[in-house]
Structure 1
Amino acid sequence: MSSPLVTVICLCYNHGRFLATSIQSVINQTYSNLEIIIVDDASTDGSQELIDQFKNEDRVKLVMLPDNLGNCAAFNRGLALAHGKYIIDLATDDVLMPDRIEKQVTLFETLEKEVGVIFSNTEYIDAEGRHLRWHYPVDEHKKVKQAVPQGNIFAQLLARYFISPPSMMMRKVVLDELCGYDRNLAYEDFDFWIRSSRHYQYIYQDLILTKVRKVENSLSSRGYVPGDLQLHSTYLVCKKAKKLISNGEEKDALLERVRYEVRQAVFSENFVEATRFFSLLRELDGMRGGYAFLEWLNNKRLKLSWLRKLYLWIRY
């Protein structure tokens, strides 16, 4: 059986400190039938000069964007050039374990076409590469301690975050059917999960195959701040999800998500976005419990971020 082509789209924006390690982890994979597309989203830290050293690699294509487009649009530029059967979306501060692609392809090739995405466990590391934690807690054999949802997980993905996005391998056909990521959003994963899981199954592979870097003040490591574009993107995805739900279980899952985001918006002082989420909550007939009081607090434009910071400090 021939080995299918895998495309790794490496997205860079000011990752100069980590860039070489990340890309080298792709080049050094035990799986050889690779196409590597490096997309630089108009970095300002000298990343483009570092990327240039890979231009003579046979499997590497370089895309240097003159203007910063954001993750979603930048990824789509790479996807337009991709020929692989399977796609990996890699930020160039993260690191692939040497056999990640081999392990994922081996599994994917045994699965039915209804499976559109596989994902795995990840190790979180700091800027210096030191271990922080596992995405899913593991036992002494590095196997997950609790079952991870898989299969038809549309409702679970609506309700809560539980997949580590850098761990995913996707069928290209899934991305093609969705026309890639939604370039109007500030981030991609929640929207991709909702749109893809409506039609495709997800399978979990119980291996640790990726090191995900957590850097202070990065989008993935901080909470919402006032005027946060990510929060507005989440609202837009919830509006999309409302059109996709088909039963009571899925509606309850969306309500769980919207209520969570309402609390996040109010206590991060995103008053406009909170108003939008309250409106969506009413559309879903979900204004129960203390949410009328929360709406009153939001309408008063009370600055409550200190309470959120105190809660997080006590909890963590």
Structure 2
Amino acid sequence: MPNSSFFTPHSSLSAAPLVTIVALCHNHAPFVREALDSILSQTYPNLEVWLVDDASTDGSPAILQEYAARHPTWKLLLLPENLGNCRAFNLAFRQSSGDFVIDFATDDVLLPNRVAQQVAAFQAAEPMVGVVYSNAEPITEDGKLLSLHHRLASHGELLPRPASGWVFAEVLRRYFISTPTMMMRRACLDQLGGYDETLAYEDFDFWVRASREWQFLYLNEVTTRKRKHPRSMSSRAYQRHDPYLASTIEVCKKALALANGPIERGALATRLRWELRQAVRRHRHAEARELFRLLRQTGPPSPLDWALAGWSHLYTL
């Protein structure tokens, strides 16, 4: 997307669609100032900001209150009990008005042109594009750059390979989207009813449901810094007693109901095999048996699939 298409702080507000940023915070005190300053640094002129604290037990609420007081147009929700990302996001989203929406975790950082670049991409795209996502820079807990989410391989291709258009089979088959980089069309979120509040995390379920009805567009720009630290949601996946694997199984059930034809069922089988191996490696044997049951509904299991399922069954006898 050429820089000439970006909005600047002097652009006409009447020509700039409203963009909602839902800034979700849970115990992000070491990072939240940098995150909120990155909202203030946006070159895009027409923002609606919701600050949502999901019952933090550190100093985060005081910092959010400070920023809300300094910026009276920003809305503040201090939740008295921890609701989890899906419910906390929905609370703000359903009160918001933006044509486009960013779900922004306050341990991450928005680069200054982030909103302007993605709005320009939406405006140049077809109306059935529901999501624009992009490249990201993973950073350490103390802010050191690591690499890129989509890295240029020796043969000249980005890895993981981005996909644009009708990507339903691709989101079933593999992980390739950096979740913090997504900007979502409000109409897409409205059609889905927001996030599924019964789940422990939102992105896989959103990708599956959204990509069945809406196109996705990859913008080849670095727009976001994604922080990796031990308290992040992604670092807790597959740990003993974590709720994320159970949510993944529920999303796979939805995907099975939505999948049409051998290509999409084969893509889901690839995902289920990967999840089955993760479950067995981490001794999540009840979940492994459920994943195998779903896998059998996509087509004939392989000998290794049978072996993994049998081992999980014997482990619990």
Q: TM-score scaled by structure 2? A: 0.91
CA distance in 1, matches of 2:259, 2:247: 19
CA contact (8 A) 1:225 1:270 kept: no
Match of 2:80 in 1: 66
Change over 3 Å in CA distance of 1:208–1:8 after alignment to 2: same
Q: Confirm whether residue 35 of structure 1 aligns to residue 35 of structure 2.
A: no
Cα separation, 2, equivalents of 1:295 and 1:245: 23
One-letter code of the match for 1:98?
P
1:287 & 1:147 partners in 2: Cα distance?
A: 27
> 5 Å matches for 1:100-179?
100-138=114-152, 144=158, 148-179=162-193
Q: Distance in 1 between matches of 2:268 and 2:159?
A: 27
1:55 counterpart SS class? helix
The answer to whether 1:185 aligns with 2:204 is: no
Cα offset, 1:204, TM superposition: 0.6
2:314 paired with 1:277: no
User: How much does 1:58 deviate?
Assistant: 3.3
CA–CA distance in 2 between the matches of 1:202 and 1:87?
14
Instruction: Tell me which amino acid in the other structure corresponds to 1:215.
Output: H
Aligned positions of 1:184-263 closer than 5 A: 184-263=198-277
Pick aligned residue for 1:14 from 6, 27, 31: 27
Which residue identity lines up with residue 247 of structure 2 in the other structure?
S
Pairwise CA distance, 1:275:
1.4
Equivalent residue of 2:230, what SS?
coil
1:281 is displaced (CA, Å) by 1.6
Percent of pairs identical after alignment?
44
Contact 1:18 / 1:93 at 8 angstroms: preserved in 2?
yes
Following the alignment from structure 1 to structure 2, what is the Cα–Cα distance between the partners of residues 145 and 234?
23
d(CA) in 2 for partners of 1:232 and 1:223?
A: 11
Cross-structure match for 1:79:
93
Q: Does 1:2 align with 2:15?
A: yes
Give SS of 1:102's match: helix
SS in 1 for 2:164: coil
Superposed CA RMSD: 1.8
Report the Cα offset of residue 227 of structure 1: 2.2
Residue 10 of structure 2 aligns with which residue? Answer: none
Which region of structure 1 is more displaced relative to structure 2, 88-97 or 269-278?
A: 269-278
1:143 CA drift (Å): 9.3
Q: Which runs of 4+ in 1 moved over 4 A?
A: 142-147
**Would you say 1:97 and 2:111 are equivalent positions?**
yes
* Distance 1:70-1:282 versus aligned 2 partners, 3 A rule: same
8 Å CA contact 2:110–2:223 kept in 1: the answer is yes
* Counterpart for residue 311 of structure 1: none
CA contact (8 A) 1:255 1:286 kept: no
Point out where structure 2 has 5 or more consecutive residues left out of the alignment: 1-13
Write the deviation string for residues 67-101 of structure 1: whole angstroms up to 9, x where unpaired. 10001011001101110000000000000001111
Counterparts of 2:288 and 2:203 in 1: how far apart (Å)? Answer: 21
Change (3 A) 1:40 1:164: same
User: 2: CA distance between counterparts of 1:222 and 1:92?
Assistant: 17
Give the TM-score normalised by structure 1: 0.91
**Could you tell me whether the CA contact under 8 Å between 2:135 and 2:148 is conserved in 1?**
yes
- In structure 2, the residue matched to 1:312 is none
Which segment drifts farther, 66-75 or 146-155?
Answer: 146-155
In structure 1, the residue matched to 2:3 is none
1:23-82 deviation per Cα after TM superposition (whole angstroms, max 9, x unaligned): 110122111200000111000112111111012313310011111000101100110111
The alignment status of 1:292 with 2:306, answered yes or no, reads yes
CA contact (8 A) 1:228 1:270 kept: no
Deviation string, structure 1 residues 247-304 (Cα, Å, up to 9, x no partner)? 11000000001111111111111111111111112222342221111112111228xx
- Kindly state the Cα deviation for residue 146 of structure 1 after the two structures are TM-superposed: 7.7
State which drifts further: 191-200 or 289-298. Answer: 289-298
CA contact (8 A) 1:13 1:41 kept: yes
Aligned AA (2:248): T
